[in-house]
Structure 1
Amino acid sequence: MGIAFVWAFILGGGILLFPDTPRYLYRHGHKEEAKKIMEKVYGAPPNHYSVHIELEEIEAKLRAEVNEGNPIVEWFRMFRAPKMAHRIVLGMTLQMFQQLTGANYFFYYGTVILIPVILNGINFGTTFYDLYVVEHYGRRKSLMIGSAWMFLMFLMFANVGHFSLDKHDPQKTESSGTAMIVMASFFIAAFSSTLGPIVWTITGEVYPSKYRARSMALSTASNWLWNFLIAFFTPFITGDIDFLYGYVFAGCNLVAIPLVYFFVIEGQGRTLEEIDTMYILSVKPWKSSECVAPPPEELAKIRREAGTDDTAEAGEITPAGQRSSDETNTEKEAEKDVELHA
């Protein structure tokens, strides 16, 4: 176990070499440093238009936080902000389903030393492939295809384990055991290149800057809660129904597909501010990948007319229930305007 300290020190030391995020630097008054880091990340020359626009968006979000009140009050206010309750529940649900894929069923209860070594090796190696998958294919397609693949793998794993494997003397059905290891390996490859890391990507970008820390805390708490529940109850469940337990995970992977299709907005190539606006204006998730964001000036106008502009002096967004009928009608017109760009 002491060997694990080595990797912890490497990770900690490596993190110290990372620069702070542009948003963090900007919020703490280091605007020029934030600008230089953005230019480096984008590979853009000084004073590039894209960097300038994103800095303006960060400034708009920062002004919205000026009038924040009591921290406890802000927790309640967070749920009243436009689409925030929806996004918080979505983030917590995605983290729940990440655990209900069944990946930790293999990691925690692989009884032979060789099996965890194989599965963890695959998990480590294919995670690098996710860096390509998430930006080349997008979040939505990757999650849905990964869920479908994991559903099939777990379905076959459960069938072979329950109906073919000799559980009292596995050596008699060596081919079945080998098949189960192969299917578990294919499952882990899909998990570590799709749902495993991409869910963290989505929960990191779905929330506006003002509420990101609190919202991420809730979604992460959901992840660890379900992690604990699976670790705790798995021995009791498998003791009663053995490998039929795999049907539960297979079913959860199947349910994750419509969840992603109907509720997750595509964030590929979007800024955090654009994703925030798309949720506020209720852009249909299945059309989100085709949605073209309006020019910055028009986008600001739409948000201002819809009553969701964070640059207002009050620094907060008016809840839908407190808006006048004129504001509501204006918001509907703004939503139609956004749809025209899809």
Structure 2
Amino acid sequence: MALFHVQGLPIGWVAIMLALLASMGGFIFGYDTGQISDILLMDDFLLRFASCTTPGDAMTCTFSTVREGLIVSLLSIGTLVGALIGAPTADYLGRRYAMTVECGIFIIGVIIQISSTNVWQQFAVGRLISGLGVGSLSAAVPMYQAETAPAQIRGTLTATYQLFITFGILVAYCISIGTRNVGASGSWRIVVGIGLLWALILGIGILFMPESPRWLAKQNRLQEAQDSLARTRGIPREEAQDHYIIQREVEEIRSNVEYESKIKAGWIDCFKPKNKTLYRTLLGMTLQSLQQLTGANYFFYYGATVFQAVGLSDSFVTQIILGAVNFFCTFGGMYVMERFGRRMPLILGGIWQSAWLFVFASAGTARDPTTDPALGKLMIISACMFIWGYAMTWAPGVWILIGETFPTSTRAKQGSLSTAANWTWNFLLAFFTPFISKAIQYKYGYVFAACNLTGAVVVYFFLYESSDLSLESVNMMYIDPECKPWTSRKWAPPGFSSRQDLINQSRAAEQHKPLASGALDESRIEKRSSSSAEEV
């Protein structure tokens, strides 16, 4: 039975469960991101892996800029490679089995890290291997969620990936502050080792969820695809064969897969202009790059160090504050993305984030924040306000778009390329931030402020509004020559007069009411579809 209805259409509990369970991939991502900031300040970690002028005295231990950058950033190198191999893995094994294998790789990396004794290179290599698993998951999870979630709540369910990233960061901060006084290596080994639990939950649990119906359709397993759709809709299997909504979705998926099967899609096809494939590949890579260039990970990777430099007595607590703001505001982001679409929140978010980064940088450069407590507090407030805007817009929004912007034939590969762009910039920022901060200090915030404004401009001129549409309809919108990014909010699939008409007709169909506008007149659909195909 359906758990509840959205826009008159049924949503099953399986749809919620698969989104939450798959989002454990985001939790693993966030947990690995959040833990390193505090671990770098733990006494035992410093004594084992840093350079100490007085043996046994952690107060005299420091990391060189290169060593600190490598320990933090090698995770990102692994995730970059993982994101690229995530596509063929997910296409070959299926979305669920791919995630299970990727969790196994992550577990191997964690074991290497917690078995490190005094060789920092071993710990860094462990992070590199864990990154392979994290990167592959970051490509597979949003794709699986977008392909499986009902269109009416796809934005919300896909956004749970980002929600769990923020939750993972917050949990890492909380565990770190709880273990920092644990004797010997337990202070950091406990933090890293607990990561095994998260991988086991995802790797085993995802096997009990339905496979992506679009992947199943590509394998000519239409009956299983129908069953998968029925489970997410909360419709009994025996009723699915005669259920209007299920049959409409199955036919839409089947037709799209049949069309795309005639096109052999390899990596090179991601860069072909036809059907705006190249356009969407570059757009996805640009959006993922700009998400990193917002500056969020500047605070997540080096926040403890930054606020310690500001003169705070306990920078661990400040990290928890930032993590909490990030996590709880992401709930608002899920609502914003579902209620207001994709374009407007990203545009306004870019402007908001830029303004507060400008405040952060100006406060840090006006006077020495270590001698002016008021400026230090202003920097913390501006950082929190920046994170608030980021968590409400760019954090969940970009991951939603990566799952729903690309055509089925190249979705996995384009998603991998986009995610790889994210991890490339993640590495560059993680590695070079110590060097840049040392050179220009808090003026670094001005660079991120400019990048946020650039993001708002890119969204306005290039991103199409994909909310409320099926993945197949999103593809039709991008290849419609009459549709422009700034007018895309009003675009609707063939046979519907508007986006709202689509919602109304779907609700009427579910309730078995007459379709007053004739929105599903098949001759109209075929005519418009044919003309669109000829144009492209």
After TM superposition, the score normalised by the length of structure 2 is 0.53
Structure 1 stretch 231-240 or stretch 154-163: which is displaced more?
231-240
Q: 1:68-217 maps to which residues of 2 (within 5 A)?
A: 69=264, 74-80=266-272, 81-110=274-303, 111=305, 112-164=315-367, 166-167=368-369, 170=370, 172-217=371-416
Query: Deviations 1:225-279 (Å, cap 9, x if unpaired)?
Result: 0111111221111112111110110011111112111111111100111110111
Which stretch of structure 1 is more off in the superposition, 134-143 or 108-117? 108-117
Root mean square deviation, CA, Å: 2.1
What is the aligned partner in structure 2 of residue 6 from structure 1? 197
Q: What are the Cα deviations for residues 159-217 of structure 1, in whole angstroms up to 9, with x where unaligned?
A: 111104x25xx1x3112111211211121122122111210111111110001011111
Match of 1:50, as an amino acid? I
One-letter amino acid of the structure 1 residue matched with residue 486 of structure 2: W
1:304 alignment partner AA: S
- The alpha-carbon deviation at position 79 of structure 1 amounts to 2.5
Tell me what 2:528 maps to: 302
| SS in structure 2 at match of 1:113 | helix
Aligned AA (1:163): A
Letter in structure 2 aligned against 1:86: Y
Once the two structures are TM-superposed, the CA of residue 101 in structure 1 deviates from its matched residue by 0.2
1:226 has 2:417 as partner = no
Query: Which has the higher mean CA deviation after the structures are superposed, 292-301 or 141-150?
Result: 292-301
CA distance in 2, matches of 1:32, 1:129: 37
Show the 5 A alignment for 1:52-63: 52-63=247-258
**Match of 2:391, as an amino acid?**
S
- Report how far residue 7 of structure 1 moved: 2.6
Comparing 97-106 and 225-234, the one that deviates more: 225-234
Distance in 1, Cα, partners of 2:432 & 2:409: 37
State the alpha-carbon separation in 2 of the partners of residues 213 and 18 from structure 1: 20
Give yes or no for the alignment of 1:255 onto 2:481.
no
1:7 maps to amino acid:
W
1:21·1:34 contact (CA, 8 Å) conserved in 2?
yes
SS at match of 1:214: helix
Q: 2:490 aligns with which of 286, 290, 296?
A: 290
Report the more deviating stretch, 182-191 or 76-85.
76-85
Q: Structure 1 residues 8 and 299 mapped into 2: Cα distance closer, same or farther (>3 Å)? A: same
> How many residues are aligned here?
303
Could you tell me how far apart the structure 1 residues matched to 2:328 and 2:202 are?
Answer: 17
Structure 1 pair 224–132 and aligned structure 2 pair: CA distance change class (3 A): same
Q: 1:316-327 alignment to 2 at 5 Å? A: none
* Partner amino acid, structure 1, of 2:334: L
Give me the TM-score of the superposition, normalised by structure 1. 0.82
Confirm or deny: 8 A CA contact 2:461 2:486 kept in the other structure.
Answer: yes
Q: Distance in 1 between matches of 2:470 and 2:232?
A: 13
**1:241 and 1:148 mapped to 2: Cα distance?**
23
> CA separation of 1:101/1:113 partners in 2, compared to 1, >3 Å: closer, same or farther?
same
Question: 1:26 Cα deviation (Å)?
Answer: 2.8
- 8 Å CA contact 1:61–1:210 kept in 2: the answer is no
- Counterpart amino acid of 1:284? K
Mark the runs of 5 or more structure 2 residues left unpaired by the alignment.
1-191, 306-314, 496-519
Distance of 2:525 and 2:378 partners within structure 1: 54
Equivalent residue for 2:244?
A: 49
Q: Please tell me whether residue 242 in structure 1 is matched to residue 441 in structure 2.
A: yes
Greater relative CO (CA pairs within 8 A, separation 6+): 1
Deviation at residue 67 of structure 1 after TM alignment: 4.3
Distance of 1:90 and 1:178 partners within structure 2: 37
Taking structure 1 as reference, are residues 12 and 50 closer, same or farther at Cα in structure 2, changes over 3 Å only? same
Amino-acid identity (%): 42
3-state SS of 2:275 partner: coil
